[in-house]
Structure 1
Amino acid sequence: MDASLAPDERVLDIWQLKCWMEQEEETEGVKELYEGKPLHATPPYPINDAINSKICLWSGDISLLKVGALVHCTNEAFSDNLQATQRLYSRAGPELRKNLLDNIKSCNTGEVEVSSGYNLSARYVIHAVPPLHTTRFHTAAQSSLYYCYRRVLESCQERCIASLALPVLSSPHYPYPTEDGAHIALRTLRWFLSNSSGSRTLKRVVLVLDTDHIATYTALLPLYFPRTLRHLQAAVHNLPCDLGNACGEPVNPERQIRIIDNPQHSLPEGGDVGAGGGTVETTINMGEHAFSRMEEDVDRQRLLGGQPAYVADPATAALTTDMQKIQRYERLLRRSKTEDLREISGIGCLYQCGHDKLGRPIIVFIGKWFKYNEINLDKAMLYLIQILEPVSRSDYIIIYFHTLTSTDNHPALHWIRQVYDVLDYKFKKHLKAFHIVHPTLWTKIMTWWFTTFMAPQIKHKVFSITGIEYLYETIDPDQLEVPAYITEHDMTVNGVRYYKGCS
């Protein structure tokens, strides 16, 4: 143990941590999860005490763990300046960074590189590069993230590493959606530990979580690593229908090709390849490269003399995507009802107050109180769903006060898009007006960009107004609760004249 470390920075042997089998059961994450139709006929993952004894949940500084290998989440050039990275470099000594820059030099997205742990208490450091997530390239990022987790585990197997500290693999600038990423991580880990060779090599895996991910992993871990019959029942109702292939790899219909035996033979009469008694069709998932794009049944298209189709089955693919979105929203809705969201509700930046003159509920969002870089964004999304769900069954309006906000209050555009994509269709359908009060030039540009290129369906519902007085055309003053600082700023800028016309 390094005596130079502070008392709260002592090296921790991972074998002193309680495993998943020994930890107390968290009932909050799995209660009220049996509503609706079961998604699986039988539990996808059976109870396995041997596997459960290998899993640990822990929150803390990963560089302080005494472990066979720890995973360092980084970028392709090893140039990120995150605090976790700087702590790792500091405790490992200059040799680690020198080795990365002079010898390894780079690592492709979805790949890993392994180095010595140097002065760390870990024998190896596995440097992993997760994908940058954007909605447009979600499928590619999904496949790349799977292979990133898989290659971390395979690296342990290749080097006979018995213990692993595994953080959440996600880019800090374009993070992968928390719940979707957790499903991929846990599904891949379950597959690997269920494999005979993987199970024989790896004896302990510590999932190192920060505050943004603890609640999600605590809720999902019993579904992939059940300990009781109650967990099995929860898994039947809550695990997604699509759990990937036998290896846990995400399967996308657009990335499948069909192979017929002996394509040199002519087609049977009628042109039906599958009708011939001597033909065999096999479906192969092509996911080895995260950004590959395959065509369906190219051989058949060529035999017919036509051009190969670039989409396997657009209707099926669209239906699958819609089902996945519905299932994802339902999971988030259940979480919004069961998780403790007081840290978000206590901020007071989002609330419902009164109705407009047409009887529509009013949702108020105070931009100045929304500290984008400080709050738990995963819980913020859950709280948004909790507030909007009751009013979204009929028409409603939203008022966003941009008054006196700073850059700390401005959410990233990719997070706004993520929230917009997660929300169910009914939210967009019943939203009748989105008022932005006291907009700045930045707000107007971002609003125009978002509603033009990302959400044109609601562009006609968004209105920028310079003062509270314009709200009183459709809302009675006693129906609108506004913080005092907003009213004072409005009177400073616009005067008090609007009070006269609203009595």
Structure 2
Amino acid sequence: MDEKPALDSAATTPQIIETHHLKLWSKIAARDIQDLASNPTDEKMHRKSPFPYSPAINSKVALWFGDITQLSVTAIVNTTNEHFNERSVLNERILTKGGPQMRHFLAEKLRICKTGDAKLSKGYDLPTRYVIHTVGPKYNPKYHTAAENALYNCYSKVLQISRDNQFKSLAFCAINTANRGYPRQSAAHIALRVVRRFLEHYSESIELIVFAVEDIDIGFYELLMPFYFPRSEPEEEYALYYLPQDVGGDNGEPVIPEREIRIQKAKPNTITSVEESVDLSSGLDSSVAVGKTAFAKMQGDLDKYRGRSAITPKNYDPMTQEIQRQHRYERLLRKANVEDFSDYISARCLYISGEDVMGRPVVVIVGKRFRADTMSNERTLMYLIRLLDPIVTKEYIVIYFHSMTQKENIPSISFVQNVYNLLGYEYKKNLKAFYLIHPSFWCRLIVWWFTTFNATILKRKLFCIGGVEYLKNVVSLQKLQVPSFVMDYDFKVNGVRYSEVQSPQQQTNDSL
């Protein structure tokens, strides 16, 4: 991985990733289908695979988790808005690393790019030679069909530009941004099927296509790529159950049987130079036959119907959700195992403190020591699963000290929900008790709301306790490693003699 000097300073550029350092999809072992086998009673969505096992095609694609601006490929894709100034992390990163010449060219030469279109510029200060800028649709479920067509056009036109200019390697980002709202899983389906069809027709025109994705998108791509690029015959067979029924047309384009509309691929009628904009809109053909269609007969709002069905596709079934959750959990655990958590260890906000009277591990959470305002949610999540992963295969308990906790110590409800959704069944099954010590009124209220509407399985395991001494029948207080400020607060609130008033079980469920 070579590094070159920057033009305007003595510093070196960030790490540059050459294509030969990327692991091809064909080199990654297929999943163990025994662990993912379908129920024999499940109905196949397809009798014959629309995307058969092809080692040759698999050798031309790669899935890479990282910063697309580090890739030394012929061209990378940027997802932006109509004026190339979208305030997204990726767009800002590409413009910043591309340098002032890129900003000037986009603002003065290209100026505008329509939704579903794509424009070409040089890479300037980036390690890539060119950047293809494309504008994804703003998603509204009422106009799902239009959004799907526009997103298909984005991928299709990027590939057409690549082929017209004879690019040898191309890296795709996920062409959707949070503020445009296109459902990530549905967008991944379109990306994968369009690229697959392109390689089936024009594989000789390109050496490598990289899916360079970040954040939550990596989970969707890890889950869905084996459906479109199976690496074995069993994986191809497995995909028959979980591929969507609608896999598009010959080029991956959306097909609407009700209206007999098919978006045809753009014609390669011109080869565009790299300093000129690329307008392929004239190459879009569409054939519309309305005489006997549902549209002609006015049979309701088909866009609305398709919008509803698109939101709850086959791939949102419980099995797929569990596979996706497990993939994300394992990815975070891998990252956590190499992460330096010395700051969390020294903060002592989360630790394991011996065993309870039944020999079960005790997980201690100290609310006041957790800084929700400064600690990264992702690192907190990684530290949590690295600490708990070895112990949750057996029964365990959690003790949470809410003593003297302030606003800056309390994580958001969305983060708590995210943690709860990520942790698997064994976490919830083997958690035998969750003790909240010194809960405030608002803490009790939030806990009641969360366990009533989001985590009912935890409600009978939750105990709100007003003092540390009530834990004496649960765990040895001498071995619990209770922070000194918690004990000081405990004595201030309860006095020094209160341990015989009530047990934890007597104090708790009525308070919820």
Q: Shorter-chain TM-score category? A: 0.5 to 0.7
Matches of 1:313 and 1:475, distance apart in 2? 59
- The 5-angstrom pairing of residues 78-157 of structure 1 reads 78-79=84-85, 85=91, 87-105=93-111, 107=113, 111-130=117-136, 143=148, 147-157=153-163
Matches of 1:384 and 1:170, distance apart in 2? 34
Residue 162 (structure 1) shift = 3.0
Does the aligned pair in 1 maintain the 2:67–2:214 contact within 8 Å? Answer: no
Aligned match of 2:169: 163
Residue 94 (structure 1) shift = 0.6
Which of 47, 51, 59 is the matching residue for 2:53?
A: 47
Is 1:225 matched up with 2:223?
no
Is 1:208 matched up with 2:207?
no
Is 1:332 matched up with 2:329?
no
Q: 1:458 to 1:91 in 2, by over 3 A?
A: closer
Q: Which moved more, 1:201-210 or 1:79-88?
A: 79-88
Matches of 1:52 and 1:63, distance apart in 2? 23
Matches of 1:133 and 1:382, distance apart in 2? 37
Aligned match of 1:266: none
The one-letter amino acid of 2:239's match is A
Given the two structures, how large is their TM-score scaled by the length of structure 2? 0.59
Residue 164 (structure 1) shift = 0.8
Does the aligned pair in 1 maintain the 2:82–2:113 contact within 8 Å? Answer: yes
Given the two structures, how large is their TM-score scaled by the length of structure 1? 0.59
Helix, strand or coil: the match of 2:76? strand
- The 5-angstrom pairing of residues 379-394 of structure 1 reads none
Does the aligned pair in 1 maintain the 2:49–2:240 contact within 8 Å? Answer: yes
Aligned match of 2:490: 491
Is 1:300 matched up with 2:304?
no
| Deviation sequence 1:82-117 (CA, Å, 0-9, x none) | 665555334422121123344545556665443232
Q: Which moved more, 1:181-190 or 1:242-251?
A: 242-251
Does the aligned pair in 2 maintain the 1:333–1:382 contact within 8 Å? Answer: no
Helix, strand or coil: the match of 1:188? helix
Q: Which moved more, 1:175-184 or 1:434-443?
A: 434-443
- The 5-angstrom pairing of residues 385-464 of structure 1 reads 404=405, 410-411=411-412, 413=414
Aligned match of 2:192: 186
Does the aligned pair in 2 maintain the 1:257–1:283 contact within 8 Å? Answer: yes
Does the aligned pair in 2 maintain the 1:70–1:122 contact within 8 Å? Answer: yes
Helix, strand or coil: the match of 1:375? helix
The one-letter amino acid of 2:129's match is R
Q: 1:208 to 1:310 in 2, by over 3 A?
A: closer
Q: 1:32 to 1:65 in 2, by over 3 A?
A: same
Aligned match of 2:78: 72
Aligned match of 2:502: 502
CA RMSD of aligned residues (A): 6.3
| Deviation sequence 1:314-347 (CA, Å, 0-9, x none) | 9x94996587343432433664797673656998
Is 1:374 matched up with 2:378?
yes
| Deviation sequence 1:245-299 (CA, Å, 0-9, x none) | 2354578xxxx6845xxxxxxxxxxxxxxxxxxxxxx58799x9xxxxxxx9354
Which of 232, 239, 251 is the matching residue for 1:235?
A: 239
Helix, strand or coil: the match of 1:122? coil
Does the aligned pair in 2 maintain the 1:69–1:161 contact within 8 Å? Answer: yes
Does the aligned pair in 1 maintain the 2:138–2:182 contact within 8 Å? Answer: yes
Which of 461, 464, 468 is the matching residue for 2:465?
A: 468
| Deviation sequence 1:215-238 (CA, Å, 0-9, x none) | 66456444432333354345346x
| Deviation sequence 1:67-92 (CA, Å, 0-9, x none) | 32112244555445666555533442
Does the aligned pair in 2 maintain the 1:110–1:129 contact within 8 Å? Answer: yes
| Deviation sequence 1:29-52 (CA, Å, 0-9, x none) | 546443232664444422223322
Aligned match of 1:358: none
Matches of 1:100 and 1:339, distance apart in 2? 37
Residue 388 (structure 1) shift = 10
Matches of 2:417 and 2:378, distance apart in 1? 19
Helix, strand or coil: the match of 1:374? helix
Percent of pairs with identical residues? 25
Matches of 1:319 and 1:212, distance apart in 2? 18
The one-letter amino acid of 1:95's match is Q
Aligned match of 1:272: none
Helix, strand or coil: the match of 1:501? coil
Matches of 2:160 and 2:488, distance apart in 1? 59
Aligned match of 1:277: none
Aligned match of 2:507: none
Q: 1:479 to 1:22 in 2, by over 3 A?
A: same
Does the aligned pair in 2 maintain the 1:142–1:250 contact within 8 Å? Answer: no
